[in-house]
Chains A and B, each alone.
Chain A
């Protein structure tokens, strides 16, 4: 083991936490420094407020431990200076002081400190407080973004020209004017943003449907993202905007497909509303398992469209109440492939194709159509499969009565035990059912 590793607690062989101690008493500073170093931290000591502040600005540590009584100023002043300097304001400060009156603590905390510990400190307590403060600092929420600007229906696309050079800006405006309106001010999202090569686009008036076109400086060939300030600019820009609109419209097409898929269910009293319930359940499970927003969106859409292939099967088979013949079963088991075939050419729906194709696969390889095993089945698919089976158990079917949510969970846990379903997914579902949907936030 190397030296650094030896000083760190197991399981955390990462960059050591850096700490600045501001303490005028050498003996106290030395004891504290040694104790922190023994726990894997990198420590620097400032002997007064000025020196401490300089160290904080130079090192930009993870944490500042600050005495209140200092020779040149007091700790409150140092804390306020740290908290009003944008470059270091994010660094948490813990006061360490012999002053233990409530007013001292309140004053320290009101200066922006994260915690206040009185001397003589206990090592275990101090380290626990340091850990808690560092964790909070790491998990600080990012500032909320302003809501995206509204995108109204417009006859002509709206362009924003963000070129630095005035002459180039005027030239671009002239070239675009025949086909675009030019944004002057206002808050509407634009359809096209023109930027200089190498510039960072200002996203203030853009949204996910805004086309960004870079104006080449030199000899770059025009491409999807690059254009020149010449007579071809307006046509090039218009094509790009149309392409973005097409992608947006594909999303709308997905909505149409969802309507198609759910209307198939509307003719079957056993299936009515099933897809929406599966989607809602799957989204909830995905949230409990901590999947990101993109994955949750894919799961929702995939759950809604997973059975769209049924539209290509004879309705009497899809809606048959009794037991299926082998021939009918064979036909039904083709619906994942038919659904995938139907959606394959809708490029914005590419992410949901695995859900459509594999939502009847099982971890033990006993599913269809491909007999995939275990982790070959993506997690998103495993979530939709569980939600699908769970929701199916809750409604009456011609061949069996509905069961309660608790019984449905037990049935699915049995399937986990047989190696068919994902244990974490069913555990998340069980947690949701157990708590009536208000699963405690564990993280």
Chain B
């Protein structure tokens, strides 16, 4: 079978990942502090739009697993300089598999031609096996039938350590949107993004690291915790709760 992968990255170890909803003032302070110690991830495009289509089965197997705190998320990510109104319109996309637990994650990321995506979703196109077994797990889920169910869009500013040991991001204008997916075939692309399901009222700060946080980051982390609106589950979980009318469940926790 033809190899469709244009590029790939792989986590070599589980990464700590904590998310917080904060107000604009806290976000500004966090970004100023991060900018003192870490370089901007993308020099000229600090506010590019990240658009992610999340996949799930028809019986919501991935979401239900994520609610228990242990799931393999499947998602298709695109980056644009201005906010797009459709998904899968470009030449390539990032297909990501993320083993997400309460506080750590493991990710495989493959850049693939957009036109190869429907065949992958139909289970006809395979990806090369990875060391962490995520590709194989994803294939088992895909065999049950998956399709894009929800889209997130946000402006991200990211500060990353040069050795990728830590990363602090701030997501502004985070929106959860519907996506009217027709079928897993090539004629379904590009697919127009539907109406907004919900918007985040503040800024989502994510702190991700592999080993140990340096002292300044540890202090920043504590500051954010002390001043956050609340701690957040993954965007996927929040999006699906809104989609299925289960957002009250999140508030109750």
Interface set of A (CB-CB < 8 Å, partner B): 1, 5, 9-14, 35, 38-39, 123-124, 127-128, 131-132, 134-135, 288-291, 363-364, 373-375, 378-379, 409-410, 413-414, 416-417, 419, 422-425, 427-428, 430-431, 439-440, 442-443
Contact = CB atoms under 8 A, between A and B. Distances in A.
Contacts of B80: 9, 11-12
A417 B67 CA distance: 14
Interface residues of B, number: 48
Given A11-B79, A11-B80, A11-B93, A424 B85 contact: no
B81 interface: yes
B181 A424 contact: yes
B81 A427 contact: no
Nearest to B81: A131
Given A11-B92, A373-B58, A424-B178, 20 more contacts: A1-B7, A5-B92, A10-B79, A11-B93, A12-B90, A13-B90, A123-B44, A289-B180, A289-B192, A289-B195, A375-B181, A379-B180, A422-B180, A423-B149, A427-B194, A427-B197, A431-B195, A442-B194, A442-B195, A443-B85
A375 B183 contact: yes
Contacts of A428: 178, 180, 194-195
Nearest to B240: A423
B245 A410 contact: yes
Query: Of residues B7, B90, B145, which shows the largest number of chain A Cβ atoms within 10 Å of its Cβ?
Result: B90
B156 interface: no
Interface stretch (B45-53, B134-142, B158-166, B221-229): B45-53
Of residues A10, A128, A427, A431, which shows the largest number of chain B Cβ atoms within 10 Å of its Cβ? Answer: A427
B81 A128 contact: yes
B82 interface: yes
6 contacts: A9-B45, A364-B58, A379-B180, A410-B245, A430-B197, A442-B195
Q: For chain A, what secondary structure do more than half of its interface residues adopt (helix, strand, loop), or is it mixed?
A: helix
Contact of B58 (A5, A132, A363): A363
Most chain-B CB neighbours within 10 Å: which of A10, A290, A374, A431? A10
A215 B51 CA distance: 53
A385 to B, nearest CB: 14
Contact of B79 (A12, A135, A373, A379): A12
B195 A9 contact: no
Given A11-B93, A428-B178, A127 B81 contact: yes
A417 B56 CA distance: 12
A364 B58 CA distance: 7
B193 A443 contact: yes
A374 B58 CA distance: 7
Interface in B108-162: 111, 145, 147, 149-150
Given A427-B195, A443-B85, A375 B44 contact: no
Contacts of A14: 90-91
Interface string B166-188: 00000000010111111110000
A430 B197 CA distance: 8
B252 interface: no
Contacts of A35: 44
Given A1-B7, A123-B44, A290-B180, A135 B82 contact: yes
Contacts of A413: 243-246
Contacts of A10: 78-79, 92, 94, 111
B6 interface: yes
A22 B45 CA distance: 24
Interface string B190-220: 0011111100000000000000000000000
B245 A424 contact: no
A364 B7 contact: no
Contacts of B181: 375, 424
A439 B195 contact: yes
Contacts of B43: 123-124
B37 interface: no
A416 B195 contact: no
Contacts of A134: 82
